[in-house]
Amino acid sequence: MSVLRRACAAAALISLAIPFAATAQDEFAVPTYEGVYQPQDRDERGLWTMADEDERLLRDADLVIRDPALNDYIRSILCRTVGDDRCGNVRIYIVRVPVFNASMTPNGTMRINTGLLLRMRNEAELASVLGHEFAHFELRHTLANYRNTRSGSDLLAWTAVLGAAAATYGGAYNNNRDLQLAVLGGVYSFRRNQERDADMLGFGYIAQAGFRPAAAADVWRAVMNEADQTAIDRGRRTSRYNGVAFFASHPTNLERADTLATLANRVSGGDYEGRDAYSRALAPWVAQFLADELALNDFGGTDYLINRIAGDEYTADLLFARGELYRGRGHPRDLVNAAEFYRRALDLDPDLSAAWRGMGLSLIRSGELALGSDALRTYLEKAPEAPDAAMLRTMVQE
Amino acid sequence: MNFLTKMLAAVLALSVPAPLAAQERGAVRHDFDATQLQGGARILVFRPRIRVGEQSTGGMFEPRADWTELARDNLGTAIDDYQARFGASLIDAPEAFGDEARLVDDYITLFSVVSESIVNYQFFVGNRLETKKANNREDIFDWSLGSGVGELPGAAQADYALFINVEDHYGSTGRKVLQVFAALGGVSVTSGRHAGFAALVDLHTGNILWVNADLQMGGDVREIDGAQRRVEQLFEDFPLLPNDAVAAE
Amino acid sequence: MRKLGLMLSMLFALTPAAASAHRLIEANAAVTVARSDVTVTPTIEWNRISQRPGNRAERWTLDGELLNDVLFFAEVGDGDTLFREVNRREMPLPQFSGNMLLVDVPSFLESSLRISKGVATFEVTSAAPVQFLSHDGIRFEFTTLGADDLQRRGVAQATIIDGNLFMMLYEAPALHFFQRNLADFEQLVASARID
């Protein structure tokens, strides 16, 4: 039994979801914090004990990023968002998983995926997500959600048996994958009223801390857009306006995004975004997070993601990642584009030697052997100790 | 659905057993001579991983704190009973922090993967690897965690290490109904997982000298009697049982 | 009823199916791998896992694939994946392309391993030219962190012949297991021939 699977099971108990509507400004008020809480009934104590055990494993897991600077920075955003007394009850674990998610277990363990950090453009966006997650924690939604989850997976098992039986008796076997996703959608979702309450409180934190509230809606739209781009690139229908798919945990996506935006307009908040500070803090990590993302073989989603983070200001890391993405797909036109992305990356940062490697390989695959060799030679001069230097030397024409 | 549930409940009353797979549970390393080790052997015990919960119809694990606490208490008491019989030879591994804690964690993870492999590819007859079949015929049991175990915290003060890993999922009523229905279809949906792994490891070589590993153990760890039975099963044929204790039984 | 059983066992993680047996690979006899013209001649006994990991793949082990995983890939052509798809809709595997360069093979493998085995991290530690199956090839070493939070090390040798990928790979836990059988894998690689 793996740490990861256990950790995932725990993470499934709370998952990222943003939404819903409000009526009166007062509802955004942040209540006095109750302080340290202990679990009450059988189910709740069960969850806590397991969360404690899981945290022991997580604490020693190799997947956790322990860099003090990054951890201190992320904690500072959470503390600024929910206040020091609340944030004192949370242990943050940054987990190297290239998937957009954060979760919080009932005992105060907050897991934040690197895939989430990568997708945030500024502190306000991160604050909106962390605040929403913390609100579920403060409101103790896990418990109810967990009881909900139990019936969800029961449904799946029964339908599987009945579906299989139907097939045996000559009936058509239903599309089990969709069904499975639908039920998983149930697992991953909080109930509507929980989402609304978490949003009220979440916006309350944000307003108190002076962040720009509309950031919450920005994040949500981006998640939907990315899912759409993934689907479109893979030649299937998007799940935005209909039916059941991975993002079914948020059934009426479009409506929710709009509701969030409306809500953001109503809450009194500040206009602080903290884009520069966020970029500075994440700069040492973006290249690695992007590399993890690139291995997921999701051209459409990753291309959207890179563009969104960039906005109108591409950094060398982002251009380089885009080059890697296009070179990885490797259509003739992609190779031409890739070479150009690498070239622009080098304009911004001449020390980004890996861009010479990418450019050289793109050019060689495009048939431009001489130019490609030159680029590789430059790379080898700059990075003679690169892991694959010996391999690349054989490709350089003398 | 309602009618179906009733029908299934009726079927449940007939209690059709799910087919069980033939499987072995324990082994002792072929070249291990336990008699040399009676008396002064020092055995390091790592904090057992224990998880107890319920398995819902869908197979989802539902943690139960009260059960886990009971199991930890009961198993702890049962292990203490054994410890009393061993005298001072069982030593609790020191609590580790930072890099040392991660090294312990790495070895416990490796132990868990090795145990699963032993069960799947040597003990489970229908799935046994051909080379392990040959081993079985010649009474060879050869599995190791490697000599690196000597670097574990506390290893310098001991000769052996004892790894214990217990995970119990008790079937809910819904799961049992599903099990019966599936059994009618000739397949096995297991109700509950009662995995227990215990192994004695040589801290110089890393060799697994003795192991008891089973994905379907007996003994309800939530009950004092059951926990004792589980520990008896976990330590069945434990080679370091002092002679006088064996005689006393 | 067989069909029901089959589907159920796919839907539930059941106890290991007592299905078809794994085959013994005898020592000192040439054997073809991955339904291709590639042969290897091991000097120790191996087990071939009965379930093929992919259409153009074959898996050998000594103690189980989590402890020592030897994979053979042969004649992987344009549009082929290394492994069987786990979830084509949500997580499709990358497809091989005949115009890939040898130096691209490690990242192709990385993406395939991450998606099919749930490998969490993958890092190439070295890559160098080598002769493999009498062709110019690449030999690379890597480290992974598995979905079971276990650190593993791996080594692979690959070549591309007429636009088809041929590769042999060995992956095992960094603690103890990798070193223990590395030489046995090297021996397999050295014995590989193609007709």
Q: What is the mean pLDDT of residues B230-240?
A: 76
By Cβ distance, the residue of C1, C14, C173 closest to B186 is C1
By Cβ distance, the residue of A1, A47, A50 closest to B112 is A1
Average pLDDT for chain A? 76
Give the pLDDT band (50/70/90) at residue B32.
confident
CB C109 within 8 A of CB C82: yes
Average pLDDT for chain B? 72
Does the distance separating the beta carbons of A61 and C149 come in below 8 Å? yes
Chain B residues interacting with chain C (CB cutoff of 8 angstroms):
21, 59, 105-107, 109-110, 112-114, 116-117, 120-121, 124, 126-132, 134, 143-148, 182, 185-190, 206, 215
Q: Which of A138-152, A327-341, B89-103 has the highest mean pLDDT?
A: A327-341
- Listing DSSP states for C100-144 in one string gives --GGGHHHHHHHHHHHHH---EEEEEEEEEEEETTEEEEEEEEEE
Tell which wins on pLDDT, B195 or A121: A121
Residue C7 inside a domain? The answer is no
Give the pLDDT band (50/70/90) at residue A292.
very high
Tell which wins on pLDDT, B185 or A180: B185
Question: What tokens does B193 get?
Answer: 């997982």
**Could you give the percent of chain C with pLDDT greater than 70?**
90
| Shortest distance, CA A41 to any CA of chain B (angstroms) | 10
Determine contact: C122 vs chain A, CB below 8 A: yes
Residue A131 pLDDT exceeds 50: yes
- H-type alpha helices, chain C: 2-11, 105-117, 177-191
Residue-wise pLDDT tens digits, B120-157: 898 888 889 999 888 888 888 999 999 999 999 999 98
| Shortest distance, CA A324 to any CA of chain C (angstroms) | 10
Does the distance separating the beta carbons of B59 and C12 come in below 8 Å? yes
- CA nearest B113 in C: which residue? C66
Residue-wise pLDDT tens digits, C36-71: 999 999 999 999 999 899 999 999 999 999 999 999
What number of other Cβ atoms are within 10 A of residue A361's Cβ? 25
Window from A268-272, C123-127, C189-193 with minimum mean pLDDT: A268-272
d(C-alpha A363, C-alpha A340), whole Å: 10
- Listing DSSP states for B114-174 in one string gives HHHHHIIIIIBGGG--HHHHHHHHTT----B--GGGGGSTTGGG-SEEEEEEEEEEEEPHH
- Residue A216 pLDDT: 86
Residues of A in contact with C106 (CB under 8 A): 388
d(C-alpha A2, C-alpha A8), whole Å: 10
CB A10 within 8 A of CB A143: no
**Could you give the percent of chain B with pLDDT greater than 90?**
15
Does the distance separating the beta carbons of A161 and B65 come in below 8 Å? no
Q: Which of A70-84, A163-177, A213-227, C144-158 has the highest mean pLDDT?
A: A70-84
**Which domains does chain A show, CATH number per domain?**
24-265 (no CATH), 314-396 (1.25.40.10)
Residue-wise pLDDT tens digits, A354-396: 999 999 999 999 999 999 999 999 999 999 999 999 999 999 9
Residue C144 inside a domain? The answer is yes
By Cβ distance, the residue of B60, B64, B105 closest to A46 is B64
Counting Cα atoms < 13 Å in the Cβ hemisphere of B137 gives 6
Residue C17 inside a domain? The answer is no
By Cβ distance, the residue of C4, C14, C64 closest to B121 is C64
CB A3 within 8 A of CB A58: yes
Residue A310 pLDDT exceeds 60: yes
- CA nearest A60 in C: which residue? C149
By Cβ distance, the residue of C5, C175, C180 closest to B186 is C5
- Residue A59 pLDDT: 80
For chain B, the domains span: 26-247
Length of chain C: 195
Does the distance separating the beta carbons of C138 and A391 come in below 8 Å? yes
Residue with tokens 């002792």: B28
- Residue C91 pLDDT: 82
Q: What is the CATH number of the domain that holds C58?
A: 3.40.1000.10
B43-45 and B160-171 strand pairing? parallel
- Residue A191 pLDDT: 58
Count how many domains chain C has.
1
Residue A18 pLDDT exceeds 70: no
d(C-alpha B147, C-alpha B159), whole Å: 12
Length of chain A: 398
- Nearest-Å Rg of the Cα atoms of chain B is 20
d(C-alpha B57, C-alpha A150), whole Å: 9
Size of interface B-C (CB pairs under 8 A): 96
Does the distance separating the beta carbons of B124 and C176 come in below 8 Å? no
- H-type alpha helices, chain B: 2-14, 65-86, 98-118, 130-137, 173-184, 224-234, 243-248
Residue B88 pLDDT exceeds 60: no
Q: Which of A212-226, A275-289, C144-158 has the highest mean pLDDT?
A: A275-289
Give the pLDDT band (50/70/90) at residue B61.
low
Residue range of the domain that includes C60: 25-83+90-194
Residues of A in contact with C104 (CB under 8 A): 361
Residues of B in contact with C17 (CB under 8 A): 127
Cα–Cα separations (whole angstroms), residue A132 to A19, A37, A136, A256, A285: 9, 19, 7, 15, 24
Q: What is the mean pLDDT of residues A153-176?
A: 30
Residues of C in contact with A161 (CB under 8 A): 8
Determine contact: C174 vs chain A, CB below 8 A: no
By Cβ distance, the residue of C13, C66, C175 closest to B106 is C175
| Shortest distance, CA A37 to any CA of chain B (angstroms) | 17
Residue C6 pLDDT exceeds 60: no
Question: What tokens does A234 get?
Answer: 């893979």
Question: What tokens does B88 get?
Answer: 């001072």
d(C-alpha A106, C-alpha A38), whole Å: 10
Residue C113 inside a domain? The answer is yes
